[in-house]
Amino acid sequence: MRAVWMTSRGGPEVLRYGEIAPPLLEAGQVRVAVKAVALNHLDVWVRKGIASPKLPLPHILGCDIAGVVESVGAGVRGVAPGDAVVVSPGISCGRCERCLGGQDNLCPEYQILGEHRWGGYAELVVVPAANILPKPARLSWLEAASLPLTFLTAWQMVVDKLQVRPGEDVLVMAAGAGVSVAAIQIAKLHGARVIATASSDEKLAQAKALGADEGVNYSHPDWYKEVRRLTGGKGADAVVDHTGAQYWEGVIKATAWGGRISLVGASSGYEATTPLSHIFYRQLSIFGSTMASKSRLFPILQFVAEGKLQPVVGATLPLSQAAEGHRLLEERRVFGKVVLEV
């Protein structure tokens, strides 16, 4: 099959395009002919060796996949060759207490497709049958591939961790990022007023087109004061953040007394200063978050089918140009997802 694989860890140049033997189909698994695969920052972290540094090479990245079922392994029910599908990116044992309790993203054996096993930068990918869901008919392949990881991640943050309620002020950091594109829409769906930050007026306008009520340019050092002003001095009741060390103190100062912050990444660096007085005196809560239960893709797909949630494709490239896609992602030039057509 044609594929893009990592030959070593490093810059985008370690991504090689060519022919490689396809993954074998095992019992209980499904082989999908990939139509589109969306890029995530996870791909960059794995490529650099920051995530899963001991991963055997060669390795195929890519966790957000839409395609057509090519074949099914022994014992697979409810999925047939020819089905148009999206692939849920989280893989777990399916039998431990966490899995059976609907917290499969806390399973000790939890894996992410394209990180711990071969992913979708390829014509074919093999996944467990439990990870196959029907593609919403109204979405293109590119849109469908843009959906799973970011919407799952944002759903757990907004709904499960922050428990956003109607009328609350929700701050969504870095509006152009895939998780933020999803979080803006999910927060609006739950009746919140959304304040989005971005580094350019163009991205702020795109955030408002997605439903954000207010926009704040966070390239100004006092950006958090603008969030306070927009909330009558109160600050945001709930915050979706993944921007890291550079903005962390601002995030804390932009949060209301008794407010909640959910953190899903740290793009600008892991080593941040936390003014602890703000945490206890103003009674802030901080929720770490990674992915979501596979079950959350069911309501997400329902709302997508109804047109109430919409993935945003920012740039499209052929599979052979995966390295260029990584550059686009790392330079944050794109609003929405970078997607490879296979």
Chain contacts with Zn ion (rule: CB under 5 A): 92-93, 96, 99, 107
Q: How far is the CB of 127 from Zn ion (least distance, A)?
A: 16
Residue 111 or 321 with smaller CB distance to Zn ion: 111
List 169's β-bridge partners, or say none.
193
Residue nearest to Zn ion (CB): 107
**Toward Zn ion, which CB reaches closer, 97 or 306?**
97
CB 139 to Zn ion: min, Å: 30
* DSSP-assigned letters across all residues of 92-105: --SSSHHHHTT-GG
Return the number of the residue (129 or 272) whose C-beta is nearest Zn ion.
Answer: 129
Which is nearer to Zn ion, 107 or 236 (by Cβ)? Answer: 107
Looking at the chain, the number of H-run helices and the number of E-run strands are: 11, 17
Q: Is residue 300 a contact partner of residue 128, using CB atoms and an 8 Å limit?
A: no
Q: Is the Cβ of residue 160 or residue 330 nearer to Zn ion in the bound state?
A: 160
Smallest gap from Cβ 130 to Zn ion, in A, equals 11
CB of 110 to Zn ion, least distance (A): 7
Grouping H, G, I as helix, E, B as strand and the rest as coil, residue 285 is strand
Give the residue with the Cβ less far from Zn ion, 92 or 197. Answer: 92
Q: d(Cα 328, Cα 228) in Å, to the nearest integer?
A: 32
Question: Could you tell me the smallest distance in angstroms from the CB atom of residue 92 to Zn ion?
Answer: 4
Q: What span, in angstroms and rounded, lies between the C-alpha atoms of 199 and 207?
A: 11
Minimum distance, C-beta of residue 159 to Zn ion, in the bound complex (Å) = 22
Of 111 and 285, which CB lies nearer to Zn ion in the complex structure? 111
The angle formed by the CA atoms of residues 84, 86 and 92, to the nearest 5 degrees, is 135
Minimum CB–partner distance for residue 202 and Zn ion (Å): 43
One DSSP character per residue, 288-342 reads E--S--GGGHHHHHHHHHTTSS---EEEEEEGGGHHHHHHHHHTT--SSEEEEE-
Strands (E), 88-187: 90-91, 111-112, 124-128, 132-134, 169-172
Residues 6+ apart with CB under 8 A from 143: 310, 311, 313
